Structure 1
Amino acid sequence: MSDASPASPGPPPTDRHDGARPADTASGGFLARAAAVTAALTVAGAVLGLLRDRTFAHVFGAGTDTDAFLVAWTVPEVAATLLIEDGLALVLVPAFSLAALRRGPGGSPDPVRALVAATLPRLMAALAGVAALLAAAAPALVDLLAPGLPEAGLAVDCTRATATCVVSFGLAGYCSAALRGHARFLAPATIYVAYNTGIITVLLVLGRAWGVRAAAAGVAVGGVLMVAAQAPSLWRGLRRTRRRGARWIAPDPHRPHRSPHAPRIPEQAKRIRHPQRPGKPAGTLRLAMVAPVVVFALGRQSQTLVERHLAAPLPAGAISHLNYAQKVAQMPMVLSLMLCTVTFPVVARALAAGETEQARRRVEGDLLVAGAIVLLGGAVVVGCAPQIVQVLFQRGAFGPADTAATAAVMRVYALGLLAQTMVGVLVRSYFSAARPTWYPAATMLVCLAVTAGAGAWAAPRWGAPGIAAANALGIAAGALLLLAGAGRRPLGLARLRAGGELLKLAGAGAGAAAACWWCAARVTDPAAALATGCLAATAAFLVLARAARVRGFAPLLLLSALLRPLTRPLTRRPRHAR
């Protein structure tokens, strides 16, 4: 993955060919640029995702056929969480980061290649077996997820088509983790652009002829495009590594004499077997490391399964309304977590190097920035929900009644956005350390129990909005438990200080939502009302956050406040290397 360079006491040179830079020497400027690129491509992928949903709503509306497809849509949703966004990434990004630290001179075996050889074939074989099992058990799965679904046969067909994404998403997530572990963020940030482009293309070409089955075929095509978007970058990196050797040379920790100017070998890196010695390959993943991450990811994604199970007996279109509302309402959360995509491998290396204070400051800064972004976005979602749905979806088979139902659910979903973001930020601090922990997994199981219990009580009374409220309540319980546990190892997060700043931001967000709602209601045209609401929410949020003396907010520069933590170095060079 890296080019060769001679040993030197200073930082390694930057590979100008691909713009990559080792995460353990990343500067604030590099991280700001990486975050900006990730943000731009994340926005592009999110816009294409909205265009995908808009196309789907225009062609099919919200009815029994769309409910059937959305039951099958559970497969790519769970696969994306487990294999791309949370599960596999939380395990493999630290593993590749540590393997990169163990690289030696060009003639020595490469621990990164050893890690790939030890894990990729087994992972692909396991995922192929899971995909075949899902296709065979599709009827039972549909009956479990949505008992009594009117179009169960259609849901089975779509489930079998989407089962192929288990393999393609797994390979895409593996490539993404390997590239991010080496501070390469461009190719991984393009995957949802490729994915949504594939789905939209198939919908437009085959939607009229195949019905919702075209959307399922689009998922299969999009998964292949996700791999194709990253494979060339990963292949070039591996070929350069084999041809030129490692760029960052780590001395042998078993050798008694070494230069005092050589880079320090982290304790976690020392525990990995040296690639020239017999034993397991460097960074080989253990079940004890993987199992807590898988349980956490499944517990988090199972909230969506619970929602669809509870919505199946409701009137036709309820599952579709929940899906549209969730996709739009979660946009602020997706944008708020893009910073963590860049900083996660850096936090992992900082903890591996014993730089706990730097990692703690980074996580606290990420929490504040992400909280500000998601609360401002959530204020717009609450204040302009009908206008957003009307602009995005109300055309074709998607009528005014669908707009009203979706907007009502969307406003309720927005109440849990801050908690969703807190979970996304905090869980990376738990899994960045090279030690397994079951606390996040146990937290998500509690969260799931709260969601299921509250949803079972609320669904018969309030329908889809009651299910959305149960989701917000459950994720809030999980966020509070994760924040409480973050005060212990490995970071020792300042919980009261972080919680206090987030409460100030939440108050500013509530005021911004009220201002947005009031201003948007006085404009007739939906697009103009949405623009007016956005401006009102931004101004109100800025003024109220400043009045509350939120840490890091300048008088009139919200953008400056959001970008300031990006400009601070995430890790420091060891004292003896200065």
Structure 2
Amino acid sequence: MTAALTVAGSVLGLVRDQTVAHLFGAGAESDAFLVAWTVPEIAATVLIEDAMALLMVPAFSAVLARGTGPRPLVRGTLPRLLALLGVLTAGLAAAAPVLVRVLAPGLADPGTAVACTRLTALTVFTFGLAGYVSAALRAQRRFVPPAAIYVAYNAGIVGTLLALHGRYGVRAAAAGVAVGGVLMVLIQLPAFVWGMGRTHREPGAAARPEEEAGGGRDAGAPPPRRTDTLALALVVPVVVFTVGRQAQVLLERFFAAPLPAGAISHLNYAQKIAQLPMVMSLMICTVTFPAVSRALALGDRERARKRVERDLTLAAVVVLLGAAYVVGCAPAIVHVLFQRGEFGPADTTATASVMRVYALGLLGQTMVGALVRPYFSAARPTWYPAVAMGAGLLVTAAGDAATVGPWGAYGIAAGNAAGITVTAVLLLRGIGVHSVAVRARSLAPGLVRIALAATAAAGAGWALTAAVPVALAAAALGALAVPAVFAAVALALSAPELPSLLASVTRKAHP
């Protein structure tokens, strides 16, 4: 169900982007909306996907592992969170003109960007509440309502846009973002209210003698009731890491704003398509994250290590297979998805070229998303992920500044890929010291074999796309040929990961 709803949300996200492209093309008006879109992009990362989940899933998992219900934790944290979100939302709406000038100096239509930003600022409140509820439900192993939030969100945007674009233009898309945020909360609220009355205990947790004697979950773990100082020490590194990760988008928009109109739009559409494989791969880690948190809460580090290593391998297979298809069939994919209305052949060519460059960083994006979860699962403050993200951000900024002149949008995409890859390498090297003792050296050969298979598959897809003139046929044939070549090369290279994963899937499908 999580996979089905994730796919449905991604498909509706494509419909949303297709609708914007069809109605407004890739020009000044769409660029203005995409600058305002920076607010929900950052809010989704901080308040739903990363910071809120990394903080609250372990917190809810810990109280559930001890056998207490979630109500005391909710009473102690939710009112403060709502007050903070309200202040941030009001401040962001008031500061919209300044924000637009900082994010996109030289933008062709700043007035429209300011109006759209004031509407999208409402997502700070709604996304924060939606992310909190999602974390509570995931910790209780209830994944369906959280997986449905992007279905509701994108449906709200598309519906509002179609109903109001004739009167309000691209501002209707920003209003749809606000409506979608409200729907995110409403679709989860019944399950959240029902779950507040439940009490859980992890099997075997009641017999732990150190708990009965007043000890922690494992040696050196903080007591169940943390002080405000410790809570702040846990929050700040997570928030800094998350903001640093999303700052890549801010750098992208900053460097692209002075380029010819449409550059921001080409980058955005390329990124949205290219990141679909990453979304599917990280779905695995989203579902298993509460299991890792509970294993650490119960002191079972060996189980946590095995789960993280398996997640990294499976996520790499999914994202590299998807990246091979994106790189090989990029022009056909963009043509099928977007080339209609105001989005013409030149926009297709530019977007497909940028998308191929973006795809070079997909493995890094996935590794960062998968690795950071165990770093923050152990309920101990650590600044290492934020430092690693800062190093990657410096690489991104330097790369963008050096290449945007000669290469334009392609240089920006290359800087993004290089920066996130550096962060992934640093996180993989440091995880054994700072978190779960993942055996990075033993994982590396398998990742290399999978990457070689993906390279061969991408080459096959590229040749096929060049040989088949009809875009729809090329995209369809590529969807068959790329996985076939990927599997054949992976097996020829004796990659043990692929057959073992296929056998695991078969066993689960036919127990």
Output the TM-score relative to the length of structure 1.
0.84
> Which residue pairs with 1:134 in the alignment?
92
> Does the 8 Å contact 1:119/1:284 carry over to 2?
no
> Which residue pairs with 1:563 in the alignment?
505
Decide which of 362, 376, 379 is 2:321's aligned counterpart.
Answer: 376
> Which residue pairs with 1:203 in the alignment?
161
Other structure's SS at 1:395 match:
coil
Deviation at 1:246, TM superposition (A): 5.3
Decide which of 365, 368, 383 is 1:423's aligned counterpart.
Answer: 368
Matched, 1:456 2:456: no
**Greater percentage in helix:** 2
> Does the 8 Å contact 1:253/1:270 carry over to 2?
no
Deviation at 1:549, TM superposition (A): 1.5
1:92 partner amino acid: M
Which whole-Å deviations, capped at 9, do the CAs of 1:330-377 have from their partners, x for residues lacking one?
000000110101100100111121211111111111111110111110
Which whole-Å deviations, capped at 9, do the CAs of 1:13-38 have from their partners, x for residues lacking one?
xxxxxxxxxxxxxxxxxxxxxxxx21
> Does the 8 Å contact 2:64/2:201 carry over to 1?
no
Matched, 1:84 2:61: no
Matches within 5 A, 1:462-481: 462-481=407-426
Deviation at 1:272, TM superposition (A): 3.2
Matches within 5 A, 1:35-434: 37-104=1-68, 110=69, 112-238=70-196, 240-241=197-198, 266-267=217-218, 271-273=222-224, 280=225, 286-434=231-379
Q: Which has the higher contact order (CA 8 A, sep 6+)?
A: 1
Decide which of 467, 487, 494 is 1:522's aligned counterpart.
Answer: 467
**Taking structure 1 as reference, are residues 100 and 325 closer, same or farther at Cα in structure 2, changes over 3 Å only?**
same
Distance, in Å, in 1 between the alignment partners of 2:226 and 2:242 is 26
Distance, in Å, in 2 between the alignment partners of 1:295 and 1:511 is 38
2:195 partner amino acid: G
**Equivalent pairs: percent with the same residue?**
58
> Does the 8 Å contact 2:210/2:216 carry over to 1?
no
> Does the 8 Å contact 2:48/2:131 carry over to 1?
yes
Deviation at 1:253, TM superposition (A): 7.8
1:386 partner amino acid: P
> Does the 8 Å contact 1:195/1:225 carry over to 2?
yes
> Does the 8 Å contact 1:175/1:234 carry over to 2?
yes
Which whole-Å deviations, capped at 9, do the CAs of 1:126-178 have from their partners, x for residues lacking one?
01101111111111000000001111111000000000000000000000000
Other structure's SS at 1:337 match:
helix
2:54 partner amino acid: L
Deviation at 1:486, TM superposition (A): 1.7
Deviation at 1:114, TM superposition (A): 1.0
Distance, in Å, in 1 between the alignment partners of 2:9 and 2:99 is 29
> Does the 8 Å contact 1:75/1:159 carry over to 2?
yes
> Does the 8 Å contact 1:139/1:156 carry over to 2?
yes
> Does the 8 Å contact 2:292/2:377 carry over to 1?
yes
1:469 partner amino acid: A
1:126 partner amino acid: L
Distance, in Å, in 2 between the alignment partners of 1:298 and 1:75 is 12
The higher radius of gyration belongs to 1
Distance, in Å, in 2 between the alignment partners of 1:550 and 1:255 is 43
> Does the 8 Å contact 1:99/1:282 carry over to 2?
no
Distance, in Å, in 1 between the alignment partners of 2:353 and 2:100 is 27
Output the TM-score relative to the length of structure 2.
0.95
Distance, in Å, in 2 between the alignment partners of 1:455 and 1:256 is 52
Distance, in Å, in 1 between the alignment partners of 2:362 and 2:40 is 22
The unaligned stretches of length 5 or more in structure 1 are 1-36, 105-109, 259-263, 274-279, 568-578
**Taking structure 1 as reference, are residues 214 and 118 closer, same or farther at Cα in structure 2, changes over 3 Å only?**
same
Deviation at 1:551, TM superposition (A): 2.1
> Does the 8 Å contact 1:416/1:475 carry over to 2?
yes
Distance, in Å, in 1 between the alignment partners of 2:423 and 2:202 is 40
Distance, in Å, in 1 between the alignment partners of 2:394 and 2:165 is 38
Other structure's SS at 1:532 match:
helix
1:560 partner amino acid: L
Distance, in Å, in 1 between the alignment partners of 2:179 and 2:151 is 13
Other structure's SS at 2:261 match:
coil
> Does the 8 Å contact 1:505/1:545 carry over to 2?
yes
1:54 partner amino acid: Q
Decide which of 360, 384, 400 is 1:439's aligned counterpart.
Answer: 384
